[in-house]
């Protein structure tokens, strides 16, 4: 006498971290901060996945330093994920990291039907290899074009231009936007952005949330959902100031 | 999570005599965050929920404050809504990071209620009867809301909570509720639930778009599937916004459209729909065909809340247990048919004829005031009687008097008996009961 054991068919949502593990990440505890931020974000991410019968959230991670390598190669259901610490040391093979991601976004191994993938690139410096070639190869793939691509700049040495190229065309207007590199100037902001990407963005890419009419451009602190095939949620308000980017502080 | 209001703090608000203690953060969404709070020094220790808005949300939705005040003034349509109780703004003296915002107080969601998405995701143990009861209450809730001249605007799986044992519901996030037809306010709805004319930007949310979203939500609850995801979905590789606009708007086609078969469920990808849809009687299926067929493009063709209430109530009354496999079945009473679960033949069964309805004799079915009085609002909250199996012999079926009055019964032998409140009489020997509400006639097939 029970409801039949059936459920709505779901689609995979691939979430891939691309983490800079170059030597500079060892300074001022940045590597530890990133490991902590990702680990702390997992319960919230698992909860979003649970609330989302339409999606099967699968996580992977690439690390890049002297070379790029899969840190977490197996697409892992977020509920089962245990984050292994990344370690810093070497230079910044960001282009090679994009190549690795390109390999998994072509079908096969990519499923025929899926939700838009989410790619999160986190870096504190400049690529030391052929970034342009890696990006060009990645962006030839339809799944990469459809992906939600986010970038987080750690500290003030990150190459914002390169990160913007990864995300796509820069939005018009000034101010914070998820279509610009997110500048994490301290560990708290980093954790907020990682949490936002792994919960709010995963939610938006998998299960449509309540939609609101866009306010007139002039009133909008975050001209966020004007581009792209997935409307991005608002950035998390920081306690310092909900609408103004305070700029880099000290690490 | 970073909380907008500091946990443990005691904050003063305009209009509240005592300060409010922020006990803990409960969760956050795109609009704001919800906290468990208690009035300081109230002694009662009653905890309430406080929703506090992000500044960006307030900025985007200039009518929010007026809408909340209006809803607080009008009051909840019925007890199934977590309705705003009071608007809270920080008093000028309070010096907190929240001093520019506002929020509203509501009751705390009681333990035991879970998000309806758990049911849709197949993670709940729940009976078909319970799901139908939840659907009945949902239709009734929106019936009451619309009768007050209001519309909800954002009906979706995310705003509904269920109690899996009882079928009680809670409708949350009532801050978009407005007078129907005003067409202002920022919310448009949730893709997948939005009426096509709203999704495609041709209309603002209204009571008639609520009717479409309600039909989608009822379908999701009853079938654990989506009314528009059939074979046409399989041609979509990346299910993103443009794809959803086609699937639910421009090219929307009901998977069980009686004439157009192009979007039938795929036997492997959409198995849920093929298992669950045949469970329901034609009278209920027809209302979905109506809402997702003609009602797709013509809002005035959509099934009305009153029609849903009637069809769902009738479905509950028709509930029988399959004599072969024990599953709950809902076949139309006159037709002889087969069990959706095991395929075994279903015979017309014993039922109770009431002045205003008939109820199949199956353990768990209930008699309600609306079965006796056509003017009584259809409602599941105050059953007058229920069918129960004998505790030691499940084959014996009885009718339990849940009213406060004693009833007189006439047996097949002509003898009579008195059924006191709480007592159960064996249906096998019973011919008729004279209840406080009206007569109950036992009809054998």
- Report the residue of chain B nearest A228, measured CA to CA: B241
Q: Which residues pair with B440 in a beta bridge?
A: B433
The candidate with the shortest Cα–Cα distance to B377, out of B77, B81, B174, is B77
- A13, pLDDT greater than 50: yes
- Report the residue of chain B nearest A37, measured CA to CA: B1
Residue pair A115/A11 in contact by the 8 Å Cβ criterion: yes
Torsional class of A90: left (φ above 0), alpha (ψ -120 to 50), beta (otherwise): left
Q: What is the mean pLDDT of residues B174-179?
A: 94
Q: What is the mean pLDDT of residues B353-374?
A: 95
CATH match of B10-107 with 3.40.50.1860: no
So what's the pLDDT on residue A248?
A: 33
- Report the residue of chain B nearest A112, measured CA to CA: B237
Q: Would the CB atoms of B115 and A4 count as touching at under 8 Å?
A: no
Across the interface, of B131, B158, B242, the residue whose CB is closest to A229 is B242
Is the ipTM beyond the 0.90 threshold?
no
Question: The whole model's pTM is what?
Answer: 0.91
Q: Would the CB atoms of B122 and A7 count as touching at under 8 Å?
A: yes
Name the band, by pLDDT with cuts 50, 70 and 90, for residue A51.
Answer: confident
So what's the pLDDT on residue B95?
A: 54
Range B349-443: architecture per CATH: Sandwich (2.60)
CA–CA–CA angle B128, B131, B136 (5° rounding): 125
Query: How far out from the chain centre does Cα B92 lie?
Result: 41
- Report the residue of chain B nearest A216, measured CA to CA: B60
CATH number of the CATH domain containing A142: 3.40.50.410
Q: Would the CB atoms of B122 and A51 count as touching at under 8 Å?
A: no
Name the band, by pLDDT with cuts 50, 70 and 90, for residue B57.
Answer: confident
Is residue A102, in this structure, part of any structural domain at all? yes
What does the mean pLDDT of chain B come to? 92
CATH topology of domain B114-310: Transferase(Phosphotransferase); domain 1 (1.10.510)
Rounded to the nearest angstrom, the minimum Cα separation between B344 and chain A is 15
- Say how far apart CA B406 and CA B435 lie, in whole Å: 8
The candidate with the shortest Cα–Cα distance to A75, out of A28, A32, A118, is A118
Secondary structure (3-state) at B23: strand
- Say how far apart CA A28 and CA A190 lie, in whole Å: 14
Own/partner long-range contacts of B8-11 (Cβ < 8 Å, ≥24 apart) = B9/B96, B10/B40, B11/B90, B11/B94, B11/B96, B11/B98
So what's the pLDDT on residue B225?
A: 95
So what's the pLDDT on residue A238?
A: 54
Name the band, by pLDDT with cuts 50, 70 and 90, for residue B56.
Answer: confident
Name the band, by pLDDT with cuts 50, 70 and 90, for residue B99.
Answer: low
What is the torsional sign of CA A74, A78, A82, A88?
positive
- Say how far apart CA A140 and CA A126 lie, in whole Å: 23
Q: Would the CB atoms of B30 and A209 count as touching at under 8 Å?
A: yes
Residue pair A144/A167 in contact by the 8 Å Cβ criterion: no
Secondary structure (3-state) at A156: coil
- Say how far apart CA B154 and CA B138 lie, in whole Å: 14
For the record, the structure tokens of B427 come out as 């249906």
- Overall domain count for chain A: 1
Q: How far apart are the first and last CA of chain B?
A: 62
So where are chain B's domains?
10-107, 114-310, 349-443
Q: For strands A182-184 and A148-154, give the pairing.
A: parallel
Rounded to the nearest angstrom, the minimum Cα separation between A217 and chain B is 11
Rounded to the nearest angstrom, the minimum Cα separation between B325 and chain A is 9
Residue A120 belongs to domain spanning: 20-208
Tens of pLDDT along B229-286?
999 999 999 999 899 999 999 999 999 999 999 999 999 999 999 999 999 999 999 9
Pick among A208, A220, A231, A232 to test the B interface (most B CBs inside 10 A): A208
Own/partner long-range contacts of B265-271 (Cβ < 8 Å, ≥24 apart) = B265/B225, B265/B229, B265/B230, B265/B231, B266/B230, B266/B231, B266/B234, B269/A9, B269/B233, B269/B234, B270/A9, B270/B225, B270/B229, B270/B230, B270/B233, B271/A6, B271/A9
Q: Would the CB atoms of B55 and A233 count as touching at under 8 Å?
A: no
Mean pLDDT lowest for which of B296-300, B375-379, B407-411?
B375-379
- B100, pLDDT greater than 50: yes
Secondary structure (3-state) at A46: helix
Is residue A229, in this structure, part of any structural domain at all? no
H or E element: which one contains B49? strand B47-53
- Say how far apart CA B69 and CA B66 lie, in whole Å: 5
So what's the pLDDT on residue A228?
A: 66
- Say how far apart CA B357 and CA B371 lie, in whole Å: 5
Mean pLDDT lowest for which of A170-174, A177-181, B212-216?
A170-174
Is residue A65, in this structure, part of any structural domain at all? yes
The candidate with the shortest Cα–Cα distance to B222, out of B303, B288, B310, B140, is B288
- Say how far apart CA B278 and CA B341 lie, in whole Å: 9
């Amino acid at each position: 006498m029970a409801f039949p054991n059936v459920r709505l068919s779901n689609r995979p949502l691939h979430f891939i971290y691309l983490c800079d593990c170059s030597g500079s990440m060892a300074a001022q505890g940045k590597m530890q901060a990133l490991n902590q931020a990702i680990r702390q974000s997992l319960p919230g991410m698992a909860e979003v996945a649970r609330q989302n019968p339409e999606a099967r959230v699968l996580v992977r991670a690439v690390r890049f330093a002297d070379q790029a390598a899969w840190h977490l190669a197996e697409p892992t259901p977020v509920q089962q994920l245990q984050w292994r610490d990344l370690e810093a040391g070497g230079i910044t093979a960001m282009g090679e990291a994009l190549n690795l991601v390109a390999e998994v976004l072509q079908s096969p191994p990519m499923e025929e039907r899926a939700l838009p993938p989410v790619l999160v690139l986190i870096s504190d410096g400049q690529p030391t290899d052929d970034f342009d070639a890696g990006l060009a190869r990645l962006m030839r793939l339809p799944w990469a074009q459809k992906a939600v691509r986010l970038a987080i700049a750690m500290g003030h040495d990150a190459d914002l231009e390169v990160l913007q190229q990864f995300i796509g065309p820069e939005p018009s207007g000034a101010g914070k936007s998820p279509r610009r590199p997110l500048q994490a100037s301290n560990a708290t902001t980093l954790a907020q952005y990682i949490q936002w990407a792994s919960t709010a963005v995963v939610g938006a890419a998998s299960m449509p949330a309540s939609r609101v009419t866009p306010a007139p451009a002039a009133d909008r602190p975050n001209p966020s959902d004007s581009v792209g095939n997935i409307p991005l949620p608002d950035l998390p308000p920081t306690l310092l100031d909900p609408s103004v980017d305070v700029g880099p502080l000290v690490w | 999570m970073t909380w907008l209001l500091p946990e443990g703090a005691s904050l003063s608000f305009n209009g509240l005599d005592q300060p409010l203690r922020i006990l803990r953060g409960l969760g956050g969404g795109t609009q704001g965050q919800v906290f468990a709070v208690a009035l300081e020094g109230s002694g009662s220790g009653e905890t309430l929920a406080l929703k506090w808005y992000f500044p960006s949300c307030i900025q985007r939705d200039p009518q929010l404050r007026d809408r909340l005040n209006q809803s607080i003034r009008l009051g909840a349509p019925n007890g199934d809504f977590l309705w705003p109780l009071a608007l809270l703004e920080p008093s000028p003296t309070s010096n907190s990071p929240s001093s520019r915002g506002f929020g509203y107080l509501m009751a705390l969601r009681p333990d035991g209620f879970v998000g309806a998405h758990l049911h849709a995701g197949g993670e709940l143990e729940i009976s078909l009867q319970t799901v139908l009861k939840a659907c009945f209450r949902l239709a009734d809730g929106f019936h009451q809301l619309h009768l007050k001249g209001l519309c909800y605007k954002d009906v979706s799986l995310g705003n509904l909570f269920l109690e899996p044992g009882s079928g009680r519901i809670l409708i949350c996030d009532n801050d978009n509720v407005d007078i129907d037809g005003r067409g202002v306010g920022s919310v448009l709805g949730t893709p997948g639930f939005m009426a096509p004319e709203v999704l495609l930007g041709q209309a603002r949310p209204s009571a008639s778009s609520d009717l479409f979203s309600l039909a989608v939500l009822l379908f999701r609850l009853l079938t654990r599937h989506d009314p528009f995801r059939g074979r046409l979905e399989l041609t979509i590789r990346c299910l993103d916004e443009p794809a959803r606009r086609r699937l639910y708007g421009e090219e929307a086609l009901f998977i069980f459209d009686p004439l157009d078969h192009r979007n039938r469920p795929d036997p492997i990808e959409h198995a849920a729909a093929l298992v669950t849809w045949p469970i329901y009687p034609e009278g209920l299926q027809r209302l979905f065909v109506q809402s997702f067929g003609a009602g797709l493009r013509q809002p005035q063709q959509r099934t009305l809340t009153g029609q849903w209430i009637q069809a769902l109530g009738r479905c509950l009354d028709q509930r029988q247990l399959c004599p072969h496999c024990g599953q709950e079945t809902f076949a139309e009473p006159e037709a002889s048919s087969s069990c959706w679960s095991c395929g075994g033949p279903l015979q017309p069964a014993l039922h109770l004829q009431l002045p205003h309805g008939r109820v199949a004799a199956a353990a768990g079915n209930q008699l309600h005031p609306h079965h006796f009085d056509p003017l009584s609002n259809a409602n599941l909250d105050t059953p007058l009687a229920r069918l129960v199996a004998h505790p030691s012999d499940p084959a014996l079926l009885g009718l339990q008097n849940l009213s406060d009055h004693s009833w007189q019964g006439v047996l097949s032998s002509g003898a009579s008996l008195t059924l006191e409140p709480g007592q159960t009489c064996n249906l096998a020997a019973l011919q008729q009961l004279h209840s406080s509400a009206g007569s109950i006639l036992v009809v054998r097939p």
